[in-house]
Structure 1
Amino acid sequence: MRKIYFICFLFMLNGLFAQKKDKLNPIAIYEKVWQEKNSDARLKLIKTVWLDDSTFEDPSASIKGPAALNNVINEFYKKFPDAVLTSGSKIVKDNYVTWEWKILDSKQKKLIMGGRDFARLNGKGQVSKIIGFWNNDVTLSDAEVLQNLEADNYKVVAQYYDCLFKTKDFIKMAALIEDGAIYSQAEGLPYGGNYTGFNEWTKMFAKSAEYFDLEIEKEPVYLSDATKNEVIIYFTIKCKAKKSGKTLSMPISEHIDLKNGKITAVRPFYFDTKQFAEFLKARK
């Protein structure tokens, strides 16, 4: 008997979860509407959840219908072209849903505005009314600040990697490097030592090129710790030694420090530095 009650209870829970998911679906589409920057594509999306008599109200507008909502969002993106919407968890009660939201500037990494929306649904997968309240006191959380910093650091390191190993664009790379940045190569390598400043880095790159030709065998995995302003990339190189003509594959991790959006230090770690040094120095 208990087993039957338990199974019934599970069916009831599944039904509740399904109902909540159904009610949140039009809200998920509504949020996609705000994320869509193409006006025509956005209007088509609006019409899937918005009726001719659906209304939207906030401190800046009071409108009715799909076209009017689309115009509100068009005007918003004219003012804030780099805006990105983030939203919190949803609270559902009958045919009402409420949630907090924030709008960030993706380039400047600053908060544009924040607030809370209340939505009334019609029970048929459509939104009949949205009321938006603005919160002038809202701030970015510590986690959001670190997330923004992590994204910026990742972007800088990805550009550095492409410049060094793919495009060989040292002019672009120089703009990513802080004055006085230090590149530390293992002392056991023919080009080992500390190199300070980008001009010294280029001399080290040229010297290393005298010993081997390099290709990327496995693209990098990026690991980031924004609290330390550090990004670690892990990848595998395949080298052909110019003295011996032999080839060798070697995993490498590079630990990269950043400050204010520029690289301040790079420390490569070879899977087996001794083996790699001997490989470079060996003759036919």
Structure 2
Amino acid sequence: MRKIYFICILFICNGLLAQKKDKLYPVTVYEKAWQEKNSDARLKLIKTIWLDDSTFEDPSASIKGIAAFNNVINEFYKKFPDAKLTSGAKVVKDNYVTWEWKIQDSKNKLIMGGRDFARLNGKGQVSKIIGFWDKDATLSEADVLKNLEVENFKIVAQYYECLFKTRDFNTMATLIEDGAIYNQAEGLPYGGTYKGFNEWTKMFAKSTEFFELEIEKEPVYFSDASKNEVVIYFTIKCKAKKSGKTLSMPISEHFDLKDGKITDIRPFYFDTKQFAEFLKSKK
């Protein structure tokens, strides 16, 4: 009986691993497409995972379809003919996959790095890729990430609830480590590095001078237990107070945690320049 039970458990585990492997297949092909410098060979790869309504977005492009995506990569290699692309471990959550990547030149000098989010359709194809750039990023050498840090999830989710839903800053303060760092992009009117929760609240207050915010799409959570990091991906809808205009924009926020408290937050706006101009524009 114990032997049969063990075999059943082994069969279930193997099945779960196979499901995850199958989900990563289109992402694997996607990465091979980026590494392929021959346009015709690359197009064949893209056609196996890309649909006519599949989309790709990053700060330099927003396209739909197979040929358009192939052209994005063609244009990339015109600018960086000797570029080498590598990527980090993948984190899977439902039909979403996220990973870090880096681009190096022929002398292994870092050109830039970032994080991609893929939405899959469950049939071995990519529905959408959205890429965030971070020129200071370095590739994680961590092995395949298997475990989600549940406690860190809870802390970040509670922080998100306090900031965007309940506005409960007293509870939020208990989640933040003394001297914790919040890094806002310098190009924003409230940009800068803020140290300690009291400075954070001043930054939050200053940001409200420029826009009213609502959550358009609730966050998807990812975790890297080996680095004690949680990443959330969500979309905001803002109304600029100066112009009255509205703008929707995806955001990725990276949280570092230690001993059950948040020590660092780094938000990545899909297009920081566009967002800054939107906040500063007048009627």
Normalising by structure 1, we get a TM-score of 0.50
Point out which structure has higher relative CO (alpha carbons under 8 A, 6+ apart): 2
